[in-house]
Structures are given as C-alpha cells and as structure tokens.
Structure 1
C-alpha cells in the first residue's frame, strides 16, 4: 500500500483494538483522531509534546510512536489523514500549527521522562520545524511548549475572548501558539536541566547568516521561512535574505519551500539584467534550511503602501484624464518588466501587491518562486490574483501574469483586494470592474478598459494590452478606445438591488449556518463560548427577534437564548454592552418579552474602568438605560446616573485607546474619537441619559461633549477627503459613521442646528467612502455606514443620505462572492465570527432590514426614547 492510500484512522483503530492494555477509546473530528486512555485524567494545561512529520513518513513514524504512547497511557491526537497533515504543513490556515502531526498530553510529573524517551525513540525521523516550540534534541522531531490541554476561554482586552492559562496571583498567560517560543513566567522548562544538553537549544540560523550577512531587521515572518534585511559584512552592501525551511509546504514529488527557493534562483539567473527585478547574489544552506540573497529592492510593497497611505486613483481626480503621473509610471514599469520576462520565456505566476516593491527609483517585482521557465513550474498562486486556470494547475501562459497585473492595479486604484472564493467563473473580474464603475463612471474610461483587457480570457487581447501599456501607448490612444467593451461592460453594470430581497438572502444564510457555527459549536471553539452582542449569539438573537414572521426563527431564537446563557456561564464576562453581560441581559429581556425562555448570564468579572462603549462604562450605562426602557426598574436608571457622574467628574474621558492609530497622520483615523472606544460613544450615553433624566448637570455635560465631538468631527471630515485617507475613517467603530449617529441624537435632543449639520456632514463624508470599502461589516465597514445613513435619512429626509444608503446596498453586492441572485456577503469559513452582528451576516442583515423598512428600530432599542 502506498502512503497516499494509508488510512490514519484505520491504523489507530487497529492499534487501540489490539493493544495489550485495552483501556483506550478513539474518536475523530474533521482534523484530528484522538486517543484517550480510560481513567487517565487530562489536566487543563501543562507541557505538551509535539511530534513533527512529513506526510510521506507518517506511517513509519506512527508505527514506532503509537505503541509507546499506548503503553504510557497518555492522551494524544494525530492529524486525521495524510491530506490533513499536508494542509497543516503548508501553514496557510495556521502557521503556528506547521509540523504538529502528533500532540501528546503527558501528566505533569512525566513530561520530562516521556519527552526524552520519545526523542530517543524517534531519532532520525524528519519533519518541519515547530516554530512555537523548543526542540528536545536536534536529531529528533520531538518538540515541547507549555500550553492548554483543552481550550479554556477568558475575557481579555476590551472584552474580547482569548485562550489563556491562569497563574498565581491573578496572572494570565496568552496561550495561543505563535511563531515564537513563549512560556508562562511561573513555570520551569523541564528540559533545560544540566543533564539535557539538547533542551531549549536554538536551532535557528543566528544573527549572522551564512557567516557573512549580518541581520539588521526582520521584514516578514512566515512558517515557510522568514525574510530579513541584512548587510554583507565584507562590502557593507544592503541585501535581502530569504529563508526556506525544510519540509514546509511539501507537495508532490517532495517539493517544499526549498524547492521554490531554488526555482527562484534559477529564474533570477535567467532574467539577469532585466530592469525591475532584484539581482541574485548568493544561495547557501544552514542545516536543513536554505537561504537566497538578493539586492535590496526597497522597504515598502504596494499592499502596505495602499493600506497606510490610501489608493492611487482618488475619486476626486481630474475627470477624463490619465491616472496620476506616479501611478501611470508604476503601471508602465511593471508592464515593461513583465514583457521582458515573457520575452525570455518566464511567466511570473505570483504577481500580487505584496510582491510589488515601490523602490526609490522604480517599481520592482519580487518573489519568483512559482515562476515557469523551460517547461518547469511549481503549482500554486495567490487567490484573487492568480486566474482560476492557474489555481487549477493548467499549463502556464503569459496572460496569467496579465490577469494578475490587472487585479493588482485594480487594488492600487481602489484600495480593495479582488474577491476570492467566488462561486461563478469570471465573477471576481466582473466585481472588480463593477467597483471601478461605481467609483469612476466614465471619468477613467481608459483605465477601466485597460483592466478589462488585461483580465480578458482571450489571450491576444490581454497580451496586446500589456504591450501597449509597457510602450506607453495605452492612455488616450487608439489602443484604449479600440479595446472591446462588449466582452465585459466597461466598469461593469452596477448590480440591481432590492433591499428586501437582499435581506431575505442574508436571513437565509444566517438561519442555514447558525447551527454549525454557533449552536452546535463545541465548548473548545470560540463559537461555543461567545455570548456577546458584538461577535456572539446575543447579537444574532437580537437581530432574529426582528424576523419572527419567518417559520425557522422561533426555533433559532429559542436555541440562541439557551446558547447565550450557557456560553456566558462557561466564560466569566465583565459588564459591557457589546462585549459583556449588559448586552446579553438586553437580549434576554427582549426575548422574554417576545415569549421565549431565557436564563440570566453569569457575571463574576469586575467591570472595565474605561469609559468606552464596546466594553466600558458608557456601554454599561447605555445598556442599563435600554433595560430601564424594556423592563423598568429604578435601579437601572440609578446605575446609569452613577456611571455618568464618574464620567462628568473627569475633564477628559478615560479611554482604552489613544489618538495614535498606528497609521500615518494623513490616514484620517483617531480611535479616541470613535463610537466603540472613543468620545462618540461617551456622547451617545450622556445624551441618552439626558433624554430620560431631569438632571441639568447631565444635560450640560452631554451638550458640552457633543460640541467637542462636533469640532473634532469637522477635522476628520476634512481629513477623510484627502488622498491619503483610509476606509476606516468612515467606520462605526473608529470613524465618522458612529459619530454621525451620536451627533444626530444630540442635535435632536437639544434642538441644536450646529449638531444636526455636523451629523449630516459626517454622514455625507461616509457616503462618499462607500464605493471604496471592501469590509462589509457593521463594525468597520459598509453595513455600519449604511445603518447610520438610513437613520439620518429617515429622520431628516436628506437625499444624499438616502442615496448613500442605497449605494451601500449596491456595494454589498459589488463585493459579493456569489452572483446577484444568490449573494454571499461574508466568507463563512474565511473569517472570525462570520454570523455575528459586529463582523458578519447578522450585521449586514440589520442594515438591509432597516433600508427595506426604515421605520423599524436598530438592533438595540433606540438611544432616544419615544
């Protein structure tokens, strides 16, 4: 039997059934086959052992390992199948999981003894390095780290759930594995003893690579190998050194990261002298790893540049002109380099924004590891930029690079990455062209035609467009005007949107997926323990309470109420509106009022001392006001008053964030301004209390802070129009959408024209951003902006707000990975909390529901009563 046909589960079942000690059980899930010895306790955490293996060698390794583990009567798990191990060792889903073919959970007193015995037993077996761990000995694939034996979730920073290990005196250790070794401060490494010379040994390359390249800083950290900036010690020349780790990303024929590194050297040598490529300098080995040295192309790639400094093609650019000179020059340089590569028989096959370096003199293409030359190529590509035919491993063609260049230029122009995982062939191309059409209409016709031609599935059209661009003969020329528009509409026709239909699709997605991602999730998965409004079951339940006419909703809400109560008991949560028990209590109160059974949450964590809305005092105070409206009780109003008094006693809000977002000054982002963690949330709470209380001090404090928010909003509205601004400037959490709602509530309550005008100004700025937003969520994206626009449009009748809300619905479709008749707004398997209000489907549904029926309230009861 070949290794490809070998069955891990069948092997383990036979081993368990025939073991001298029959007291073991075997169970499996989608990733792991787990063996448990009857009667042996499994501690919550301790020194776990990881045994690394190549997929081809796993049968041989398990032949030696499993009898020893059964004899030791310890819990262990094995990658369920060889395809699972291959995927694990590629590191794309979880880089820190590379190499962890087997995980062993020894009793604390036996960790050292068992680890040393296994390391001796498995000497000579090969496997990828486990980066999160230390290696017991250099000639054996046995590693160790201190970590959880079963997932235990705790409320972490700003209410977010995190895997943690409790220690003495209230200390916690963040337990999630990373690409570096870490251990709690209160434990002692059991393998670092004097009689264990291999324990805790570093097997990395050190700070001087190859004996002559002194590392100055890291550029990129990845499972398959790091990338460093270094100086050649003899000459002082600045270079880039790329590492390829042994056995990582192993594919057919045993090719791995080192194979791709060797291929890159081969191609760079063949392409020597082409402008716009790094120069090959050196190639050497250190242990099992290999290193490639090239000239230093520059410090910033296109992906990072656009994320930090904004897109190249701003909507306010001069109508009907060519793109800005710098953007045009970059396009021409990239096209010229590609044409020169193609002339030498090279197809790059991995042209992405990350692989375009913006050097001091020109744009440079890097990372030719997948390139094809002389009939040889390695499979793979980057989803979104590689055409479908390349990802299906069809023979390389020059137009594969044309497609990738078109998508990369689309990202550079709009700031939006191309869609991945599209359900219909050609849909990613259509969506990119639709995005361009929504942004520029006819004002950038030549550019839109260029992208249409580069991504055309007819080879001649793509190659001709590339040659014309490289020669500077596209913009304003016959080539552009002659490009066929009929094959795909220039800019793409904007999708037709009916809010009720879109809401129906979102509701169907939510109901169809809620069991898998929340209700049936195990307690070890975050979906099984997240009860919050922001990312968990309370937020989904709150939205579904608005859809009780659907026959499947009562069952879902009943189960969500039970899930919320159970999950909140598994994890100690602090009071908090969006990330805490206050929001859970609102869901419970509204569910009880609608006739559902609902138990209260457990609450055993002290409240956060900050004033923010997400998990701090502003949110707790507002939550109690909403509970006061829902179920009565003077205690709720009294508690809100206490929080307000503490806030008003300080001259400045006590925030969990600072104005420094980590982005450049021109990005137009100030976290301390926004709704989730900033002034806008404080204002909304104080306004809500002033609307329900007769205390003039509260009213004065709310009005004063509302005007401070108005002044700061004016600055951010101006900043949001700058070419260097980034999309989150318009968001609910940190940007203008949340502030617009808070200003609107304050202007309404106090009848202040200046506040109402500021709210509309912020809303209009948000509306302008909608076609440039790739994030579709409530928190950071389109749905949050759309919800704000609907509220202001409904209350003020403002046409620009109505138009912006409709544009937000169209943007949901324009960024949909499914066709218009079956849209897919959220990648359910590609992100955290995919069904949630804050990040996922429930948030999109909340916006679409209100757009279809503006009289309905938002997810939570209204800030202003009545």
Structure 2
C-alpha cells in the first residue's frame, strides 16, 4: 500500500484525514513558551522561534528522535535547552503524532522524528550537539535514516534546507531545494541514507561520528539482488549467499520503528516471526529459517525463497473478468483453479493451527502461488499462539475482524479471501457492512461457486465491520437515463454533505494528496469538485466558491494544472474571479519557466492548454501558449525521457513507464492538437502524432487483444497512466490526419477500456474514466443510445457504490476511504456520468477545442481561414478527411 494511506486512515473511519486530528485533544504536548518567543507551524508541527530571529536558508540541522513512551520527557529537555540557547526549533504537536509517524507504513523519511533544531552556524551546532548528547544520554529513539547519528543516543544531524524552496528534477518532479554556492537550486536529497551536498564539508567535530559510522558497517554475507518491499520497519530483499550462491530472502527489522497497534516494533515482530517459522519447520509452503543476523543496529532473518507469485498477481493474470471479453468455459476453468488454490491455502492454515499457531495476517499479498497452483505463505510477523486470546494488531482492510481471537482470525480472513479470489473488492467491506453480500451476489452472476466456498463467504458476512452503520448505498440504476440523473443528484448531495467550509486545510474530503496543497487543487481539492458540479449542471454553493477564493493564493503552490496554480485559476476564472485567476497565473510564471515537466497533470501541457483556454483574456496568455509550444516541441523531438519513459525512471521501485493522457506524452499531443485546431498550422498536428507515437512506444500488446501501457509489474488501461487516454486523443487526431500506426493501434487501445473487473471506481485510475472514455469514443450525437461497452460498465458500477448519510458515495484510492475529489471520488464519477447524457458536458477540461476568436487565432499563427477551424466537426479544418481513419470501436 502507499506509505501515506495508513497515516491518513487513523483519525476517521470514513475519510482520509490529517493525522494531527487523531485524538489530538487527548495527547497535545503542553509546552509553555517563554516571553519573546513566537509560535507558528502547521497541522503536524509547532514552530518555536525567538522574536525577530532570521534563519539562514539552509545549513546543518539537528533531529532528535523519540518513542511514544519517552517523547514528552525528551521534548521538555530539548525545548528547555533551545529556549535558553535561543535556537529555533519545531516539534510534533501531539503524542499520537509521534506514534503515527512510527507506524509500519508511515513515511520512512519522517520516522521517529520528534524535534528539528535550526542552529544558525557551525559553532552553535557544535555546542548544541554536545549539550543535547549529554542531556539525552540513556534516552532511546529510532534511527533517522537520512542523518548522521551522534554517539548512540537519539541526536542526529543532516545538512539541508531550513526554509521551503523548490526546484524541478530532470524528470519534472517539483521537490524541496537547497542552494549551490552559485545560487542554483538543486534537490534537497532526502534519500534514506546520510549524504552531504558536493560542496559541503562536515565540521571537524563530526569526524569521530563519521568514523564510528564507517566502522559499524559490516558485511552481511549476502549480496542483495532486488528490493521486494519497503516499510518503516525495514526492507525485504532477494539475495544470494556469498559463500555458495544460494538464493534467499532477507527480511530486515529496525529497532523502535515500524510499530503496530500494540506498540511492538519491527525487531519484536521479526523475533516472533522467526520463533513461529522454526516451530513450523518442515511444513511445505512455510519458509525455512536459515539464520538470524544482527548487522549494526538492524536485524535480518535469512529465509528460504518460496517459489511463485503473489495471489494478487496470479488473480490478475488468470481471472477472466480482467479483460474485454470472457466465455462460460473461461469462468468455469478459473473457478476450478481458484477453488483449488483456496482449498490449498485452507489446508496450509489448518496445518499451522495444528502446530498451535495462528497465522494472523492472511491476505492476497501474503499468499504465493507457483506454476502448479501450489501455495505458500509469507510474512509471519503477526503469528501468535492459538490459545493466547490475542487480537490482530496489523492487517489488510477487509481481511481483519477486531472481535476475532485465536484461530477465528484466520477463518474470517479465509472467508474474505474466498470472496476476493473472484471479485477483489473486499476492502469495501471495511466501509460498508452490507457490501460483502452484494459482492457475493455479483460473483454468483459470473461464477458457479461450490457450496462449501459459498458457506465460507457467508460466515464472513455475519460479522460486519464495526462503526460503519449507515454506509449502505442507496438504490440506483445507472443503466437508464432517469437512474443516472438520480445518481448525479445523490453524488452532488454527498459532496455538499461532506463540505467543511469552517476548516482551512480542506473543503471536501478526498485523497491524502489533497492535504499537500491546502485542499485547493483540481485533482484532489476544491477546484476540481466545484468544476465537476458546475459542468454537471449542479448548483455551486456560493460559500464553497468563496472558500476556494479565500484559500487559493498560497505562495508555495506548484504551477501545474491538476496539482496547482493553473488548475485553480481555471476554476476561479470560471466562477467569475478573473483578476484573482490572472494573479495566480502570474505568480506561477517563475516556476513555469523552470519546470522540465511536460505532462498534462502537472507540467507544460496542462499549463499551455490553460493559456489557450484563456487566450481571449489577454496577450500574456497568447505569449504563454506560444512559449509552451516551443518548449514542448523541443521535448517531443529530443528523445529525452522527461520522467515518462522507462529509461528515465531507472532506480524507482516497481519502475514502469508513465505513458498516458495525464502523466505521459499524450498530454503534449492534446496541447498540439488544440494548437492546430486553433491555428490551422499542420506542424502542430505533426507534433501531436509524434507525441502519441512516443506513448505507443511505451505500450505492450496483451494476449486478450488489448494494448496497454507498460507499468512495470503490471499493464495499465487508465486515463492517468494508461492506454485509455492515448486512445481518446488518438481518435481525435485521426479525424484530422491519417496515420497508419495510430489506426492500427486504435482497436487495442479501445479494447483496453472494456474490462469487466476494475478495482477502483475513480476517474483518473478507475471505472469512471474507462466508461467516460468509451462514451466519448462512441459519440455520434446527443440522445443516442449508449453503446454496449458503456452500458456494461454502468451495469456493474454499483459494485463500487457505497453510501454516506443517505447519499451515493464512492471510495477513493485503495478503496480504503470514501472520497469526494475529482481524481479518485464522487466529483470524477459525477463528471463521467454527466458526459454520457449531456453532449455539451466534458468529463475533463480541454477535451473540446477552446473556441478562440478568429483574430486571436491569427495572432497565434493561424491563417485567414482560421475561423473555419472552429466551425467544422471536431474543429477539423479539412472536413473532407473526416473518417479517413476512425476508431473501429465507435
């Protein structure tokens, strides 16, 4: 799972919520500031600074780590020193936040940090380090992975930024920055190991600590060949023993880090796991322990490698609902294999029970299946004695039961697994107590289940998730027009019901990324929600529009469309705040000049399209669009990755390409298409074709006839990263110019949108985006019957549907919490449904030509007939060519 999802799931059962709201009142640190000190900060961190003090932009900072048990005492000691020494510092506001940032799936870069100190020079740094090392002798805290440790206590140092500045990586990512001696901003390196910028020499007093660090590095005796998994508690690696080449798995544990709900750290859980595995030694499907090795402060269990792939991957490869078509024979064959796998997992779990143990964390990622459908289990760190009466302290959403004890923990998880094997939406059970029953009914529409499997699932259904009362979805028929109208009203009702205009950090609940930009952006914040409401013909509450206006002008917004200033400005302009929109765009100009990002989501393509959209507002938008066109033309022709192609992302775990409409080269293709439709210059059309070809280079043909983006360990059909958006824009380009490669790819791209099984419901990476794409590809005119491919999606959209206070609500990223945002939740589904019934409604900005006045188009480089470009079907300046190469799935 994403490492931030657990952190933002602590405070609320229904929505992703800021971890600072997790029992904040009960655990707020009571720290009294002396006179002459100012208090500031954000939701998580409280900043303490002497009045009038000026901090340097960067330097050596001090981190102090702590555990939940000693955090308050450590804070008092360090704060007292800082107040006396006049050193600015920040600290986590609550004890619950200390625990939250120490959990297994909390961000590793923040693990265990309680305080950060900002010495103004090396002399103050040395004095503070010596004083704190002495004052905190005997206190314990997790190792801060990015830092150099001082002695063996909880004091660490690192060179980095003191104030928030940003720059852009070669791949286009906007990251925190520090300044080189010549003034150039470069990324502030926060990788999980200690390093210094190339021009920085550590002060001499740090040399003994550097020497100590080097002396502690010892050979593990194994050569790591691949990283399989990372968490706050440590990594899991594939390795070979140096002495004989034996392939093994190394499981790493860090002390005081990766806590579970009982407070056990990764070391304690690894020790428990090794004891369990040794007790189960000799059972086929259970990894054998080779040895337990301590290297420095970390502990490694050396384990057999269990052959096979995870059940997640196995199901994705074999479930016949994954793909555009299936047959009765395919569903029968899969059902037989899935039941056989389930029975083998059940037999293995029962053997574990016979040895007096509970596995304790059964879910698809912990089950491995080999080529002969033999199974194994991994990750025994939650194993416990069967008669110990312990409850689960960790687990995967939809596979846990807080009331279960002993063997019942595994039995309930087996019921969830039985359902998941056929329809992997089990995590929805944690949000709605009645959802499992509806999912079982859906399974039985496609598969014939043996009675014992059905009984296993039904037993699970008798134990609904606690605290989810009222989460059942209202009855809605998505396949008829009246039902969709009711659905749109209900979706909008849920959006309004969840609005919190009294808050400053967000207006509508959505994905955790919405918290990064103050809840204002288009993809995950208020801007996109208000745009969707307006586009779908729903009322926009004036108070909500005012909230966006009041909270939009933040100095640290990124410049992009879906993640930053240009998208917010787009919506503000739509709502009548023209001057404020212009100010936001002007304020983003310096970052626009620096970015290497070419994407529609956060880069030049989205920025350029917004300038085209606003071209009637004034000459600065014309200049902006022309400048973007020049830069994107160079990017398309250069062959450089720009963070999209596989080669440009080497070193990232699960690395794959980012081809597609929002993150890939199709975004620039859309920009050049709109430029051509505006100006009539065929050079732009050629660039659109070349950009699409670059994304097609990132696609792979699957055996089911689909053409999908290569996402590394999986293939992707979506709008965000995936083939749907490529097919959508290729179809529009083919209306203007024939291209053999685009025409040959059209069928496979379109077929990729037709899978019956889609895990998520959202617009960017889920079913809503696929059905909206198919609807757009099949458009022939308002009021026509929807194509079968769209109806097929609509007929199963209820699989994802949940409820909130009587309204229709959809889950966001991961299906762990509800979301109202545009990218992952209700607003995106609303826009998708509206586009099916209203020919004028776009499900995403810029899918129609901008409609620029002829005289403006001439300024952009158009010819005397540029007004005709606006008035022919789809903006085609050569209507006689329409249909030369059309999408065959229309």
TM superposition shift of 1:854 = 4.0
Greater mean deviation of Cα atoms: 793-802 or 35-44: 793-802
| Residue of structure 2 in register with 1:271 after alignment | 280
Q: Which residue of 2 aligns with 1:129?
A: 143
Secondary structure at 1:779 match in 2: coil
3-state secondary structure, aligned to 1:242: strand
**Aligned twin of 1:227:** 236
Q: 1:75 to 1:350 in 2, by over 3 A?
A: same
Further displaced range: 636-645 or 672-681: 636-645
Match of 2:353 in 1: 342
Aligned positions of 1:559-708 closer than 5 A: 559-564=547-552, 566-567=553-554, 569-571=555-557, 573=559, 578=562, 583=567, 586-592=570-576, 599-601=583-585, 602=587, 603-605=589-591, 606=593, 613-614=600-601, 618-619=605-606, 621-628=608-615, 631=617, 636=622, 639=625, 643=629, 647=633, 656=642, 660=646, 674-676=660-662, 678=664, 680-695=666-681
3-state DSSP of counterpart to 1:357: strand
**1:337 Cα deviation (Å)?**
0.9
Query: 1:348, 1:157 → 2: CA distance?
Result: 45
* Separation of aligned partners in 1, 2:631 and 2:310: 49
- Whole-angstrom CA distance in 2 between matches of 1:649 and 1:386: 46
Aligned-pair distance for 1:137?
Answer: 0.8
Aligned twin of 1:776:
761
Partner of 1:467: none
Aligned counterpart, 2:455: 453
1:301 aligned partner = 310
> How many Å apart are 1:96 and its aligned residue?
2.7
Deviation at 1:148, TM superposition (A): 3.7
Q: Note closer, same or farther for the CA distance 1:579–1:519 as it changes in structure 2 (3 Å cut).
A: closer
**Structure 2: distance between partners of 1:36 and 1:642:** 42
Corresponding residue for residue 107 of structure 1: 120
Q: Is the CA contact (8 Å cut-off) linking 2:611 and 2:625 kept in structure 1?
A: yes
- Whether the 8 Å CA contact 1:154–1:572 is kept in 2: the answer is no
Name the counterpart of 1:12.
Answer: 31
Distance apart, 1:656 and its partner CA = 2.8
Partner of 1:86: 99
Partners of 1:519 and 1:559 within 8 A in 2:
no
Kindly state the Cα deviation for residue 604 of structure 1 after the two structures are TM-superposed: 1.6
TM-score, normalised to structure 2, is 0.75
**Cα 1:382/1:170, change in 2 over 3 Å:** farther
Q: What are the Cα deviations for residues 732-752 of structure 1, in whole angstroms up to 9, with x where unaligned?
A: 2443322333243335556x7
The alpha carbon displacement at 1:172 in A equals: 3.8
Q: Which residue is equivalent to 1:375?
A: 387
Q: 75-84 or 98-107: which moved more? A: 75-84
The yes-or-no answer on 1:824 pairing with 2:809 is: yes
Other-structure match for 2:133: 119
- Aligned partner (choices 542, 553, 574) of residue 531 of structure 2: 542
- 1:434 and 1:493 in contact (8 A); partners too: no
1:312 and 1:327 in contact (8 A); partners too: no
The number of aligned residues is 797
Cα shift at 1:616: 5.7
How far 1:100 sits from its partner (Å)? 1.3
Spell out the pairing of 1:779-818 with structure 2 (5 A cutoff): 779-795=764-780, 802-809=787-794, 813-816=798-801, 818=803
Against the structure 1 CA distance between its residues 589 and 253, is the aligned structure 2 distance closer, same or farther, given a 3 Å change threshold? closer
Q: What does residue 846 of structure 1 align with?
A: 831
Deviation at 1:592, TM superposition (A): 3.4
Aligned 8 A contact 2:710 2:716 in 1: no
Change in CA separation of 1:171 and 1:823 when aligned onto 2, cut-off 3 Å: farther
Distance 1:324 1:9, change over 3 A: closer
Residues 446-498 of structure 1, C-alpha deviations (whole Å, 9 max, x = no match) = 27x6664333336999xxxxxxxxxxxxxxxxxxxxxxxxxxxxxx9997433
CA distance in 2, matches of 1:645, 1:234: 54
Query: Any idea what SS the aligned residue of 1:130 has?
Result: coil
Q: How many angstroms does 1:276 deviate by? A: 0.9
Residue 425 (str. 1) matches residue 433 (str. 2)? yes
Of residues 31, 49, 54, the one that matches 2:62 is 49
Q: Residue 706 of structure 2: which of 709, 714, 720 is its match? A: 720
Higher relative contact order (CA 8 A, sep 6+): 2
Q: For 1:144, what is the secondary structure of its paired residue?
A: strand
Shift of 1:119: 1.0
When residues 495 and 94 of structure 1 are mapped into structure 2, their CA distance, relative to the original with a 3 A threshold, is: farther
| Equivalent pair of 2:66/2:112 in contact (CA under 8 Å) | yes
| C-alpha distance in 2 between matches for 1:706 and 1:227 | 38
The SS at the match of 2:351 is helix
Label 1:27 to 1:540 Cα distance change in 2 as closer, same or farther (>3 A): same
Per-residue deviation, residues 765-799 of structure 1 (Å, max 9, x unmatched): 14422x32223333333232232223234436898
Instruction: Determine the C-alpha separation between the residues in 1 that align with 2:817 and 2:57.
Output: 24
Aligned to 2:202: 189
Deviation (angstroms), 1:329: 5.3
Q: CA deviation at 1:118?
A: 0.5
Q: Give the distance between the partners of 1:609 and 1:56, measured in 2 at CA.
A: 45
Q: Shift in Å at residue 64 of structure 1?
A: 3.7
For residue 761 of structure 2, give the secondary structure of its aligned residue in structure 1. coil
Three-state SS of the structure 2 residue aligned to 1:292 is: strand
Q: Secondary structure at the match of 1:457?
A: helix
Q: Judging changes above 3 Å, is the alpha-carbon distance between structure 1 residues 713 and 39 closer, same or farther for their aligned structure 2 residues?
A: closer
TM-superposition CA deviations, 1:14-40 (whole Å, max 9, x none): xx4xxxx63335568654454433333
**1:460-499 residue pairs with structure 2 within 5 A?**
496-497=477-478, 498-499=483-484
Contact 1:385 1:403 in 2 (8 A): no
Query: Counterparts of 1:648 and 1:155 in 2: how far apart (Å)?
Result: 18
Residue 397 of structure 1 corresponds to: 407
Calculate the aligned-residue CA RMSD, in Å: 5.0
Q: More displaced, 592-601 or 30-39?
A: 592-601
In 1, Cα distance between equivalents of 2:279 and 2:628? 73
Separation (CA, whole Å) in 2 of partners of 1:634 and 1:792: 34
User: Any idea what SS the aligned residue of 1:282 has?
Assistant: strand
The 1:412/1:395 distance shift into structure 2, 3 A limit, reads closer
Q: Report how far residue 134 of structure 1 moved.
A: 1.8
TM-score normalised per structure 1? 0.77
**Distance change in 2, residues 1:402/1:840 (3 Å):** same
In structure 2, how many angstroms separate the alpha carbons of the residues matched to 1:426 and 1:121?
55
TM-aligned CA distance change 1:554 to 1:353, over 3 Å: same
- The answer on whether the counterparts of 2:494 and 2:808 sit within 8 Å (CA) in structure 1 is no
Alignment of 1:181-260 (within 5 A): 181-190=194-203, 193=204, 196-199=207-210, 201-202=212-213, 206=217, 208-209=219-220, 218-232=227-241, 237-250=246-259, 255-260=264-269
Q: Aligned partners of 1:538 and 1:460: how far apart in 2?
A: 41
Residue from 143, 166, 174 that aligns with 2:156: 143
Query: Hey, what's the Cα distance between the residues in 1 that align with 2:164 and 2:620?
Result: 40
Q: Structure 2 residue aligned with 1:742, among 729, 736, 740?
A: 729
Q: Does the 8 Å CA contact 2:536/2:834 hold for their aligned counterparts?
A: no
Match of 1:555 among 500, 521, 543: 543
- Report the alpha carbon displacement of residue 279 of structure 1 after superposing the two structures with TM: 1.6
- Give the Cα separation in 2 of the matches to 1:645 and 1:168: 28
Q: CA deviation at 1:278?
A: 1.0
C-alpha distance in 2, partners of 1:514/1:157? 38
Question: Per the alignment, do residues 653 and 615 of structure 1 end up closer, same or farther by CA in structure 2, a change over 3 Å counting?
Answer: farther
CA pair 408-46 structure 1, distance change in 2 beyond 3 A = farther
Distance 2:147 2:719 in 1: 39
Three-state SS of the structure 1 residue aligned to 2:208 is coil
Change (3 A) 1:831 1:815: closer
The 1:194/1:780 distance shift into structure 2, 3 A limit, reads same
The answer on 1:356 being equivalent to 2:362 is no
Q: Is the contact between residue 714 and residue 758 of structure 1 (CA under 8 Å) also seen in structure 2?
A: no
Distance apart, 1:149 and its partner CA = 3.6
1:809-834 superposed Cα distances (whole Å, 9 cap, x missing partner): 56554234547944432449999996
